[in-house]
Amino acid sequence: MSTILEVAGMSASIGSQQVVESVSFSVPDTGITAVLGRNGVGKTSTLRGILGLIKRKGEVTLAGERIDGLPTHRIVQRGVGYVPEDREVFASLTVAENLALAERQANPRRDFVAHLFPDLVERRAQMAGTLSGGQQQMVSVARALLNDNRLLLVDEPTKGLAPRIVNEVAGALEEASRTVPILLVEQNLEVVKRLAKDAIVIDGGRVVHRGDAREILGDEELTRRLLGVHGDAPADGHGTEERA
């Protein structure tokens, strides 16, 4: 197996505060790699550092080429897709308009996206702001999947969703991961067990553990210490905002 993304000694800061401290890890070019860690440890900042959305130092290499000196739009052009933590759909645009705005290439993968999210096809004329949280998440994931990316960075896609919707979003990511490697920040450990092969655990802005995801979650002591929960319980402290 080869590596699609290599992060070596990357630090990142927001204003004057360093929020990521010299993290190093690699992401294989197939399947889903999870980023785990308690609230506020720097998971989102790690993704934003890779994308150059916050100031960073250190080496980031995508498919053998350094991208840490590039501005965000160039990194995106090289094939890094981003599904941000708060979905960021355009509330006053329709589903179809949200998707059309995301298309970067001449032959976007519309059929693939329609196959993954039939619900969005039915709702194409609906204003995105009137969709449920789960449907908005699907729009957000769909936008990234329209393009032929080399890597997707996906931040807490199941946060606050009802169990049935969590399942649906997880299923879509699982299917998507057969076509593109995914670096996934996820606090729902059942979803991690289902989807991820390897996991990286972050604490205090540093990588403190790395290994097989199921092995990490099967280690009660480690899970309690690094994630603050038992591996069989959801770590999601955000609660469920929505019902099925």
Ligand X SMILES: Nc1ncnc2c1ncn2[C@@H]1O[C@H](COP(=O)(O)OP(=O)(O)OP(=O)(O)O)[C@@H](O)[C@H]1O
Contacts with Mg ion, residue ranges (CB under 5 A):
43-44, 85
19 forms part of the interface with ligand X (CB under 6 A): yes
Which one, 85 or 219, has the nearer CB to ligand X? 85
204 forms part of the interface with ligand X (CB under 6 A): no
Q: Which of 191, 110, 99 is nearest to 139 (CA)?
A: 99
How many residues would you count in the chain?
244
39 forms part of the interface with ligand X (CB under 6 A): yes
Tell me the Ramachandran region of residue 89: left when phi exceeds 0, alpha when psi lies from -120 to 50, beta otherwise: beta
9-17, 165-173, 207-215, 226-234 -> range binding ligand X (CB under 6 A): 9-17
56 forms part of the interface with ligand X (CB under 6 A): no
Q: Which of 118, 166, 167, 107 is nearest to 142 (CA)?
A: 118
42 forms part of the interface with ligand X (CB under 6 A): yes
- Distance of closest approach, residue 85 Cβ to Mg ion, in angstroms: 5
Q: Burial of 90 by CB count in 10 Å (0-12 exposed, 13-18 middle, 19+ buried)? A: middle
55 forms part of the interface with ligand X (CB under 6 A): no
Residues 62-121 that bind ligand X (CB under 6 A): 85
The item of Mg ion, ligand X, none sharing an interface with residue 45, based on CB under 5 to 8 Å by kind, is ligand X
Contact 7, 80 (CB under 8 A): no
